[in-house]
Each structure stands twice: as structure tokens, then as C-alpha cells.
Structure 1
Amino acid sequence: MKEGYVLKSKGKPDGDALRKINRYTRREFTAEEIYTFSVVLCDNEIDRDGERFTEEALQKLAVLFVGKTGIFNHSMQTQNQTARIYDCAVERDGERTTQTEEPYCRLVAQAYLPKSDKNSDLILELDSGIKKEVSVGCAVGKVTCSICGADLKQGGCTHVKGKTYGGKTCCAVLSEPTDAYEWSFVAVPAQREAGVIKNFSTKDAENVEKMLSSADGELTLSAEQAHRILKRLETLEALAECGRMYRGELENSFVKYAGIAQPEIPAKTAARVAAEMDAEDLKCFEKAYRRRAQEVLPLSPQLAPAHRTESSAFNAEYKI
């Protein structure tokens, strides 16, 4: 489960909670000024995506999530900040086991927000259970197959998530968390951008593009997110350079064969036409002109060995 839910409202913090909360405030707040609540962030059960955290991963996330802000719908803008985690711990349920027959564990966070006119509606929604579902955003360093242990970030294996092998359900095991970004109140926890960010993919690029296009003020990215975006851009730039080289060779070939097949067309005109074509059209015309050029002027090298055909009379006197 990479999404969770609000457990219950605690109301006023006790002395120990207030001390932890005031580590994040610019002045000392009193218990009467603060509203606190508990929230389950995630657990070690196989989720609807066929993935699960290890207990060790939850323990690491318990450290990483302390101090992280709560927002709405994973929209990383300052105006969407609503609460902050001041404490986090893994809870084990000795009477419950997961699908993998391990003791059930869940990551439970304690969050706070100041009591104010602005937050009064949110506090009411929390107390009434309207605002309940949450989803987390974090990064993990390792994703392995639960059946064979293959590294799923480096190519994977033949096992299929959700299928059973030898009585065991296959899933992706998430371990070695590297960062915890945020946690969000969401209407539907299964929305596309919810869940663990394991690698920067095309979907992540689409999400970032939406985030950038909808931003009307400050936009906050974590160091990990910025690093992944830069790596993605480097990969795309390398691929683009390969594409530019291929396109250039294709355009040059088109102009050459067009000049042979239809010499009345100036090379500059052919080059201009080639530059305006999309890749599929350019490949089609280049192939057609290559074929016609072969008919007009054989394209085999001048120094290519000639194909010798012996006449039937060659050395006939030695044939029996």
C-alpha cells in the first residue's frame, strides 16, 4: 500500500509532542494553538500495483518522512502545504500476516497544523472523516522480483506480478528508500501520480510537464526529483543527437538519389523539400528515389569485381 488514511484526530498535543512540533516552528506554540492527528502512510502488504515495501524499507521511511509536509493531490506548490509530520514510527501487528506470510507492519505518522480561521474547514473535514485518504511520494533504490530476486530496475525477469509460482504470489519488492518527498490528501489514492516514484519514466515526464504548465507561482522540487529530471534530460538529449545524425544522413541520401533520378530538380530545392518532410515520408521518398537512381545509373562501385560467366566452349577440348 503506497496510499494510506487518517487514523484519528488527537486534538491537543502532549508535552513530548509539543516539543517535537516546536522544532519546526519559528516561535514556541502552545498546545491550544496546535491541532494534531495520526495518519497511516503505507505498509508492507502487496498493493494493487503488485508491489510491497519490506519492513526494513518502512523503518528507513520512518526516518525520511519526519519533517515532510502534507499537500493536496501531489501538487508541489507552496500554497498547497497544509500539515507537517513531526513523528513517525513502524507499528507491527502480531496477530496479522501479509500475503507473503510476514508479520503485518504499517508506517504511522503524527502530523500537526496550526489552529486558524484558514485551517478551520480542514480540521472539520478531518474530524468528520471527509479528508481521510492520503498517498505518499518517495524514491527507492532497489526493486526486485519476489520470486527470483531479479533487479527489476535493470531489465527484470520473466515472472509476472500477480501470478502464482510454487504457491507464492509474484510481486515487486521495494527496498532501500533514498528519499521521501511528500504525502498528499487525495480523493482517489489510486490516481496515476500517486504512489512510489521508483524511476523517472515517461509518465513522470508527463506529470512534471503538467505540474510546470499549471504552476502560477513558486514550484518546489526536491533534490532527488531535480536529479532525476536532469538525468532524463541527458538521456533524451543523447537520443535526440542520434536522431539528428540519422535524419541528416537520410536527407543527404534523398538529395543525392533525387538528383540522379530527376536531374532537373535543383539540389537546393530537393534539400528544402527533404527538410520539410516528416521521417516516415522522407524514408519512403528516399527509398523510391534510390530505386529509380539504380535504374538510371548503377550504384555498385566501379572497382567491384565483375561477375564472370564462362562460355560453354571455354576449355571444351579438355571436357569429357
Structure 2
Amino acid sequence: MAVNETERRAMARALELAAHGPRGVNPQVGAVILSPDGEILAEGWHHGAGTPHAEVDALSKLAPGAARGATAVVTLEPCNHTGRTGPCAVALIEAGVARVVYALDDPGAVSGGGAERLRDAGVSVDSGEQADAAHALIDGWLTAQRLGRPHITVKWAQSLDGRAAAEDGTSQWITGPVARSDVHRRRAEADAIVVGTGTVLADDPALTARDGDGLYPHQPVPVVIGSRPVPEDAAVHRHPHAPLFYDTRDLHAVVAALHARGIQRVFVEGGPTLASAFLASGLADRVLAYIAPVLLGGSKLALTDIGVPSIDAARRLVVDEWLPLGADLLAIAHPATPLEEGA
């Protein structure tokens, strides 16, 4: 049975609801219950670990029997296991729901399989509706499920000829205000922002996500990697969150420590050395390259050694979007070869 326009609108609404939920060990999920006539009967979302899942949250707002023959539109496949809450697939079956439309399959070995359970009970099931939007919403959680670490975005700004700074080291500002505003918006979507001590000592960044003259409500936790001491009066110490310092070159250890703290989205915004180290370590799920129409020449490359000895070993990327930002251009890309578990 094909997904109809009413169900598509309901999925868009479910994605809006999902965004209300907190990011953490559980995914953000939204649900909309539609009557057989396509009217919205109830809405719900997952409010955090230990609380009812989105489907159950929505069903709880209905009188017993009110969902019989209804359609449940959910951003993630209804779960099929008992944790701190019961299986959502069973809750939907017991409520008499006749049809389920969901965006993404649950990748969990234990929690997955809800769709099969629903079908076995005679429920009509369709998947994949607005999957890209749902994936973008919970990419951190999905990466954590697949790789056991946060989703990592590596960002840099460069001149058209691939330089991150002029020969004297100055780099403010290669890109224009529209591009810089875009960076801050993306910072606000991350759980942590990572730089090296070199960037802190050279630029004294606040590492906040600024919205004009103010701050975004959500601020990423500042993370500084490196062995050089950071002055007590550095701007990073005035961040709304206490900074985390890691005196190590082992990026896998840093990423594991962040994962243990419940951090799911990491935004790497250090200089060429740190960006290159993350890329060389295979720790980049997404690349953001802000390209300015300016030529600098010289030796201050945007990337250094990333472990590519020959063209055959090039790190191939797939560009998801070329986004004009004022006079600048943003390339949004991901690795052409999927990163494997344990990479």
C-alpha cells in the first residue's frame, strides 16, 4: 500500500515532534496517530530515557479503543524489545492499530524487528517515508549504534587554492559573514566542539555557538586536545559549559571518552593539524569545507598529511550538497566508503 499525502504530512509533523526530545542514549522519535479518515487523533514524542516511547506517548492520550483501525506514523521503526519500557510494536497491536508508516529501520540487534512483528499480526506496514530527514535528525544515535562512537563532523575554511591562512598565519576572516553564521548554527546542533591547544593559544576562541549578538539556547561542550597548557584567563574557560581537556594524541581514546559521556554529535573545528589527524584516523562521518573566492598561496594548507601516499589511496568523498553562502561555497560530503565498526 503506497504512502498517501495525508501520511506524508503526518510524517513531517512527526519529525517536528521528534526534535522536541532530548539527544542522549535514546533516539529522538516522534509519532502521529491518524484516524481511518486521516484526522490527527494524537501526537507524541520520546521525552528521554526511561519515559514512554513516542508511539506509547501518543496512544496514552487516547481513550481505550480509540486507536482501533488507526494509522501510526512514526519516525523510527517501532521497537520490538522490553527495556525500561515495553515493546512499542506490541502496544500498537494491542491498541488495534491497522497500519504503521515509519521512516527508518531500527538498527539494533535487540530492539529491531518491530516491523516484522507488526506484519505477523496483520498490520499493514510501510517504511522509508522521509528517511533522509529522519536520518539527519538522529545521525548521532545511528552512528553510535553502528560504530559505538559519536557522529563526527570535520569542518574547515579554506581559500580557493586550499589554504587555511596567509603565510604569516593570519586567517580571520577567509570566509564572509554568511558562512560564519552558518558555522555557528551548525555548532549549535552539536553536542561537543573540538579544537587543539594550538587553536586555543593562537586565536583564543570562545567556542560558543552565537546567534547574532546572543547565544543559541543549546551550546556544545568545548573539548581541547593537546599537551600545551591553556591559560586560566582563556576565553574557553568562560564558556557556559566547563571545557574538557585531553592531553593525548590518541583520538580514538578521546572519542570513546566523549561517547561514554553521552555525547553523540562531535564538531571538529581545530586547525589543519587536528582536522588532518581526524581524517587520517578514519574519524570523519561528514566533512564541511567552506571555500572562499580568495587566493592566498604559500604553505598554510587547509589539510596536511592524512595518510594518502598515492592517488590510489585517496580518501574519496560523496558530495551531498553544494551550498552557496554569500560569496562563499560550502561543500557537504561524506566518505564514499562507509566506515566500518571498529574503524
Common fold: TM-score over 0.5:
no
- Greater share of residues in helix: 1
Q: TM-score, normalised by structure 2?
A: 0.21
Of structures 1 and 2, the larger Rg is shown by: 1
